[in-house]
Amino acid sequence: MKLAFVSRRLQRAGSVGSASLRRGAGETVKRVAALLPIFALVLTFSSCAGGGRTLVAQFADVGDLVGRSNVQQSDAVVGTVSSIQLIQRKKIWLAKVTMSLRREAHVPQGTTAVVRATSLLGEKYVDLVAPPNSGSQPDLPSGSVIPASLTSKAPELEQVFSQLGAILASGGLTDLGRITSASAMILEGQEDDVGRVLDGTAKLVAAIRSQREALASALSDLDQAAKVLAANRPTIDTALRVQPAALGIIASQHDQLDTLIVQLDKLAKPLGDLTRAHEKDIDSQVKSLRTIVPQLYAVRGTLDKAVTLLPPFTKEFAAAAPGDYVQLDILLQALPVTLPIAAPASATSKTAPSTPTLRNMLLEAAQ
C-alpha cells in the first residue's frame, strides 16, 4: 500500500512539473515575440543614424559635450556624436569630435560647427551651420574634417557670471555706479531728444536694411575697382612720383589760376541766364539723345571701324589742305591732236569755221 501511494504521488508531481515547464516556455516565447518589433525598430534607427557618412570636427573647447549627443542642422536632428578624442595639432590640444550623419543631411563646403545647449541648463549638441546660398553646392565627402577655424562654442551662463565676477572682484562696481550716475545726470531732461535720436537710428537701420542689395552691389563694385587699381599699380606709382613736380607747376601759376577762377565766376552768370533761356531746347535735345544713343549703341561695331579709319583720313586731309585752301593734284596727259593746215585768207573767209585748236580746247576746259 505504501509503495503504491508513493508511486501515485511521484506521477502526479511529474505531471504538474511538466505542465509548469510548458507554461513557462510559452510565456518566454510570447515575451520574445513582443520584443522583436522593438529590436527591429532599434536596428532600423541604428542603420538610419549610422548608415550615412562620417564627419569630423576639431574644437578648441567642447564643454560638457558627450558621446551620443545629437547633431542638428536648422533645428533638425541629422546625426549623433560617435566619439570624442583629444588630439594635438602643432603644440595645440584639440577635441576631435567624430559625427555620424544621415544620408539626407546637406553639409556643403564652408559649413561651421558650433557646440550649443538645448536650453539654459540643457544638454549640449553640435549645430552644423551651412554658409548662405549654398543650396546648389556639393556635400562634403565622408570623412571630411572641419578645422578648428570653423568651429566654436556658444557662450554659457557660467562664463558670463565668471566674467562678471572678475569685474566685481577688481572693484569695477564703483566705477560702474559712477558711470551710471553720470549718464543719468547727462540724460536728465533730454528724454525727448534721446527718443528722437533712437527713432532716427531705427529709421537709419531700416533704410540700410532696405538698401542692402544696393550696398552689396556697391561693395562688389568697390572690390572690382580695387582690383583695377592693383592691376595699374605701376601707373599709380609713376603718377605719385611726378606729383611733386606737377604741384610745383601749379604753385608757379597761382596768379594765372586765380585770374582764371575769377573769369569763370564772371562767366557763370551769363551761362546760367543762357541755360535758363534755352531750357526747353536743352530738354528737347536731351530727349533726342535718348533716342540717338541706343541707335549709336546698335551700330557700335561700324563706329569702331570708322574711328579706326579716321586717323589715315585726317592725315591725308591735312596734307591736302596745308593752309586756308585745298590742294588738288591734277594729272594731265597729252593726246595726239591733228592740227589743221592754215588756208589762204580768201579761202578761209568763204568756207565754214575752222577746227578748234588745242589751246582753245584747254581754255574752254579751264573756264
> Angle of helix 233-252 relative to helix 212-231, nearest 10 degrees?
90
Percent of the chain surpassing pLDDT 70: 70
Biggest CA pair distance of the chain:
205
Spatial distance between the Cα atoms of 173 and 312, rounded to a whole number of angstroms: 84
Tell me: the pLDDT tens digits for 186-236? 777 787 888 888 889 999 998 888 888 888 889 989 999 999 999 999 999
pLDDT band at 112 (very low <50, low <70, confident <90, very high): very high
Residues 6+ positions from 187 with CB-CB distance below 8 Å: 194
What local confidence, expressed as pLDDT, does residue 274 receive?
A: 86
Tell me: the pLDDT tens digits for 21-71? 455 545 554 554 555 555 444 444 444 444 578 999 999 999 889 999 999
Indicate the SS3 state at residue 82: strand
List 345's β-bridge partners, or say none: none
Inform me whether the pLDDT recorded for 79 exceeds 90: yes
Inform me whether the pLDDT recorded for 7 exceeds 60: no
Q: Is-contact 127 116, C-beta < 8 A?
A: yes
Spatial distance between the Cα atoms of 129 and 152, rounded to a whole number of angstroms: 11
Q: Structure pTM?
A: 0.37
What local confidence, expressed as pLDDT, does residue 333 receive?
A: 58
Inform me whether the pLDDT recorded for 326 exceeds 50: yes
Cα–chain center distance at 30? 65
What local confidence, expressed as pLDDT, does residue 279 receive?
A: 87
List 85's β-bridge partners, or say none: 96
pLDDT band at 334 (very low <50, low <70, confident <90, very high): low
What local confidence, expressed as pLDDT, does residue 282 receive?
A: 86
Tell me: the pLDDT tens digits for 21-31? 455 545 554 55
**Residue in the block written with cell 539654459:** 120
Nine-digit cell string for 26: 510559452
**Residue in the block written with cell 536728465:** 188
Spatial distance between the Cα atoms of 65 and 124, rounded to a whole number of angstroms: 5
One-letter amino acid for residue 284 of the chain:
S
